[in-house]
Structure 1
Amino acid sequence: MRIRVLGIGMGPQHVTPEVAEALRGADYVLAARKSGEDRLLDVRRAVCERYGVALAVVPDPARDRDDPADYQAAVAAWHEARAAAYERVLARRGGTAAILVWGDPSLYDSTVRLVERLAGRLRADWDVLPGISAPQLLAARHRIVLHEVGRPVHVTPARRLREAVEAGQENIVVVLGGRSGLSGLSELSELSELPGLADWTIWWGANLGGPGEELVHGRVGDVLPELAAARGRARAAAGWVMDAYLLRRAR
C-alpha cells in the first residue's frame, strides 16, 4: 500500500508536472465530502477527470467550527475521526491512494499528520509532493514580495491575528477563517479601531487563481467595505471562498 499527499494549489490549473505524474500512477484519489453539495469536492473531481484517476469519496466527520474553548482537543478529535474513516477505505481498497491538498501540504493543513498516523497503522509507504500555496499566489497576483528587505514575515491563522498585532508583528500574512467565516475580516474590522491599524496597508485576495478571483489593495481604513463586497462577489461566482491577505504596518 502507498499513500501520496499531493498539493494542487487551487485546482487543475495549478497541478505541477510532478503531481500530474503521481496522479497518473495512482489507483484512486481519496477525498472527504463536507456536505451534500460540496463545490470544493467538484474541483477535486475535475482534477481526477483530467488525469484519468478514480475518486473515492468519504463523508467527512462533523467538526466543531465555532472556536471551541479547547480548540486543540476539538481538532484532534476531528482528525482521529477522519483518520478512522480513511483507514476503512484504504484497508479495503489497498493499492496506491492519492490525497489532494489545497495549496501546499506544508502550510496550515493537517493531511501530513493524518497520513503519518494512517501509514503507521496500515504499514503503508507514503510521500508528499508540494503545491502552490495561497501566500505564493497572493504575492504573484499583487506583484509584491511578502516581506520587506531583510525583514521577516509572520504567517498566522485569522483567529490569532489580534495576538500577532499585539505582539508587535509588522508584516503579517493571514490565512484560514475566523468565527465569522470571513478569514478574519470581522476581527480586522474591530482592530481597525485600534490606534494606527487603520493606516496599515492590506493586500487581499479571494479564490486566487480560481473561479471568482478578487483582489483588493489599499489602506485598511479605506478598503474594508470594498473587501466585504469583493468577498460576496467571489462567493457568488464560485459557490465558495478561500481568501488570504498580507498586512503591513505603515512606515
Structure 2
Amino acid sequence: MSDHEHVEKKAESLERRHEEENLMLRKRQEEYRVIEEVFDRLTLQGVYKLLSQKVIDEFHGVVNAGKEARVYWGLDPEGAELAIKIYYTSTAEFRKGMMQYIQGDPRFKRVKRSTRGIIYTWTQKEFKNLQLVEKAGVNAPRPIAFNRNILVMTFIGEDGVPAPLLREVKPDDPTDFYTKLINEVKLMYTKARIVHGDLSEYNIMVWEGIPVIFDVSQAMLTSHPLSQSLITRDITNINSYFGRLRVDTHDAEELEQWVKGESEELS
C-alpha cells in the first residue's frame, strides 16, 4: 500500500469514526460543520489526533479569523482554556511571504517547498519561537502542542472571550504600559534571542494590566542577518504608537541599543 493510499484509508476510517461516535464536537455540531467546510481532510485528521491524545478535550467556536489562520477556543481535559490556531493550507500568497522568514534559520534547513510543507514548517516555527519566549519569561501564550498546521496554546482571556488587543483598548497608564512592553522586547532579544519583526498594537494583548505578545511565527533569531532591520522596525512601531498616546518615548536609537543589551541605562 502506498503512502497516499494509507493516508486515504486512514482518513476514511477517521471520517467513519466521526459519523459513528460524534467525536469531533460534543454539543457543537453547527461549529463543527463550519470547520469541515473550511478545512481539508488532513487538517481534520490533525485535529482528531490532538483530540485522541487528550491535548484537546472540547473544541468550540472561532474567536479570531484572519487571512492566514483561524483561532478557535477550546478546553483541555482539566478544563483549562486553549487557543487552537489552524493555518489555512491553500493560501498561495501567504506561502510566498513565509519563505523569507524561514530561509536562513538553522532550525529549518530542509523545508519542503510545497504549500503544505511550508505551512507545516511555519506552524512548527511558531511553536519553537513560543518555547523560546516562554523559557525567557516573556509574557506570551504558552505553547502546548502542534500537529501539521495546527498550533495549541494557552488562551489569553476568560470564558472564551479573548483579551483585547492594544489597538482596541487604551491602557490605564500608557507610560507604565510602554515601560513594561519595552522590557518584554528586551527579554525577547537578550534572553530568548529572537526578534518579533512585526510588533505593533495589532499583536499585543492587554491582560490584567500587562502586555502579552503573540503572533511570533515570523520572529527571527537574533543571529539572522535580517534581525537588525526587524528590531529597528519593532522599535519604530512601538514608539510611533505610544507617541500618539502622548507618552514621552525614548530616543529610538538609544532604545534599540538598550533592548539589544548594548547599553545599561535609558535616558
TM-score range, shorter chain: under 0.3
Tell me the TM-score normalized by structure 1.
0.26
Specify the structure having the higher radius of gyration (Cα): 2
Q: Which has the higher strand share?
A: 1
Tell me the TM-score normalized by structure 2.
0.25
Higher relative contact order (CA 8 A, sep 6+): 1
